[in-house]
Amino acid sequence: MTRISIELIPRDKDSLTLDMNNIKEYFSVADTINIPDLMRFPLRSWETFDITYPLYPNTIPHIRAIDIDPNAPLPGYNQSNLKEILVIQGDPPADLHKVTYPNTTEMILRRYQKELPHLTLYAAFDPYRRSPKEELEHIQSKEAAGATGFFTQPIFDEKMLELCMDWLHDKNVFWGLSPVVGPKSKSYWEVTNRVIFPHHFEPTLEANIAFAKRALQLIKQTNSNTYLMPLRVKLEKYLPPLMDVFL
């Protein structure tokens, strides 16, 4: 396995620092942090870089294309140590007073490639929201715009993981894994992200850990990257059992 990232929610500086220290303690194999840009928190993803850099120099902020003002500097332009970003399209905000712009992911990738060419650019791959043909066409257009790697939507099925690995066999990919615990969490993924779970899926922490171990073994065998998104679970409950894969 090449790189292992943990996705952390940027609630505030203190919680982010606590989460990073927990990762150092409970999941020392992680070498990267990726940070989503969430409108419900005042701390923007690229602003967290100055917080995470001392502990995790390999921090990858998510940049929402629809939030980028065409006439303003790009996020991260003044952060000399920043090396990588993930550009996503971004869902429309719930707050209708929030200003957005008619940008596509490709438009923002091109801007970064032109204005901040030293950055490594990632884009998103989502096998659930569109047909495979459409999603793979988007992969090609994102590569043409400057993306050199991809972060997948979390995957919850070994067969889906193997299929996506075949589709993206020659790409630099961070394969996403996230625990889904409880019926409300499962419903969220089904409604919001259009995920189709396998019929045998169990929304328990134990079943999610068992699946993550199997998926990580496959990712490890293919020498790929992964990122873990431990939503609504305690890091100290979810991460330590996964260390078995790396021992």
CATH no. for residue 121?
A: 3.20.20.220
Cβ–Cβ under 8 Å, residues 11 and 41: yes
Which burial class, exposed, middle or buried, applies to 131 when counting CB atoms under 10 A from its CB (0-12, 13-18, 19+)? exposed
Q: Report the C-alpha gap between 246 and 212 in whole angstroms.
A: 12
Six-digit token string for 222 = 């293919």
pLDDT, tens digit, 9 for 90 and up, residues 72-131: 999 999 999 999 999 999 988 878 788 999 999 999 999 999 999 999 999 999 999 899
Q: What letter would DSSP give residue 73?
A: P
Q: What is the pTM of this model?
A: 0.96
User: Smallest Cα–Cα separation from 126: which of 80, 42, 195?
Assistant: 195
pLDDT bracket for residue 1 (50, 70, 90): low
Domain range spanning residue 20?
Answer: 4-246
Cα distance between residue 27 and residue 192, in whole Å: 29
Which residues, in sequence order, are bridge partners of residue 173? 150
pLDDT value at residue 93: 82
> Can you give the pLDDT at residue 85?
99
Mean pLDDT across 12-17:
97
Please count the structural domains in the chain.
1
Give the other-Cβ count within 10 Å of 21's Cβ.
12
- With beta carbons less than 8 A apart as the criterion, state whether 203 and 186 touch: yes
Question: By C-alpha distance, which of 47, 42, 100 is closest to 76?
Answer: 47
Amino acid of residue 150: F
The predicted-structure confidence for 163-184, as pLDDT tens digits, reads as follows: 999 999 999 999 999 999 999 9
